[in-house]
Amino acid sequence: MWLTVIGSSASQPAAGDACSGYLVTHGRASVLLDCGAGTLGRLQEHVALDDLSAIVISHLHPDHFSDLIPLRYGRRYGEAGAREIPVFLPPGGIVYLHGLAAALSKTRPFWDGALRLQEYAPGITIEVDEITVGPVEVVHGIRSFGMLVQADGRRLAYSSDTVMCDEVQLLAAGADVLLAENTLGGGAPAHHEPVTHLSAVQAGLVAARAGVETLVLTHFWHTADRAQACAEAREVFAGRILAACPGLSIEI
Ligand SMILES: [Zn+2]
Ligand SMILES: [Zn+2]
């Protein structure tokens, strides 16, 4: 199983980056975890859209789903007969996206024919060919789901956006690689209360307690110093630490 970072920025893309997007591939299966601003163009450097098996959205903050909108337009008005791409949304996601469509366009139906929207449920595994994705609810400003991605006995835990909580620790337990947000790392500005994200040190603590091989820090504030964030996580985690960046690809 391979993880390729498409975009690794928090709220707005840093220069040369995109917001959240992570491509996981194994055999014929390719799953995009999140589809934030700027991911669509970079995604196609790695996989043709017709070959994308599915998209799974962790939560309904725009930095994690907003490129579904240009994707819908491209599929809808592109080549005739383009396949609908399955999109797995958190609970309530279908109503939310229909509400967004109502503000964007008079065309009905808006999403059908381009994207096949469906919702996942916590604890129910999504199966995409040889890859399984298990949503695990974490704690954030809105409902947010980390993902346990498995193929061929290997496990990737993706934190989504979360505070430090038991749920993210349980998600990471037993994973080989932890892909963890660190919005507050690398000299990012202080967030408004209540804080709804992790620092790099907290991401490192989750990795250390879970005993993962590799920690991939991601969801960087656009002004963050990524090397500094890695150094912060290093204070508490002795394993391999990587800073996500577009095109970073690792075998899990
Ligand atoms: Zn985010
Ligand atoms: Zn968020």
Distance, CA 33 to ligand 1 centroid (Å)? 12
Query: Does 79 have pLDDT greater than 90?
Result: no
The neighbour count for residue 94, using CB atoms within 10 Å, is: 15
Distance, CA 161 to ligand 2 centroid (Å)? 5
Query: Does 81 have pLDDT greater than 90?
Result: no
Quote the pLDDT of residue 190: 81
Quote the pLDDT of residue 194: 82
Distance, CA 67 to ligand 1 centroid (Å)? 13
Question: How confident is residue 123, by pLDDT bands cut at 50, 70 and 90?
Answer: confident
Distance, CA 61 to ligand 2 centroid (Å)? 5
What CA–CA distance (Å, rounded) separates 64 from 136? 16
Average pLDDT, whole number, for the chain?
Answer: 96
Task: Count structural domains, the chain.
Answer: 1
What CA–CA distance (Å, rounded) separates 28 from 36? 24
Q: Spell out which residues have Cβ within 5 A of ligand 2, the ion.
A: 61, 161
Q: What b/e readout covers 218-242, taking b as 16+ CB neighbours within 10 angstroms?
A: bbbbeebbbeebbebbeebbebebb
Averaged pLDDT for residues 205-218: 98
Quote the pLDDT of residue 191: 76
What CA–CA distance (Å, rounded) separates 149 from 127? 10
Distance, CA 94 to ligand 1 centroid (Å)? 19
CA angle, 209 then 155 then 153, to 5°: 125
Q: What are the pLDDT digits (tens) for 132-187?
A: 999 999 999 999 999 999 999 999 999 999 999 999 999 999 899 999 999 999 99
What CA–CA distance (Å, rounded) separates 219 from 17? 11
Q: Token digits for 5?
A: 């970072």
- Structural domain for 160, as ranges: 2-251
Q: Are 119 and 56 in contact (CB under 8 A)?
A: no
Distance, CA 194 to ligand 2 centroid (Å)? 13
Query: Does 210 have pLDDT greater than 80?
Result: yes
Q: Are 223 and 17 in contact (CB under 8 A)?
A: no
Distance, CA 82 to ligand 2 centroid (Å)? 31
Q: What are the pLDDT digits (tens) for 86-113?
A: 999 999 999 999 999 999 999 989 999 9
Distance, CA 208 to ligand 1 centroid (Å)? 23
CATH of the domain at 83: 3.60.15.10
Distance, CA 59 to ligand 2 centroid (Å)? 7
Q: Where are the beta strands (DSSP E) in the chain?
A: 2-7, 21-26, 29-33, 54-56, 85-89, 115-119, 126-128, 131-138, 144-151, 154-158, 177-181, 214-218, 240-243, 249-251
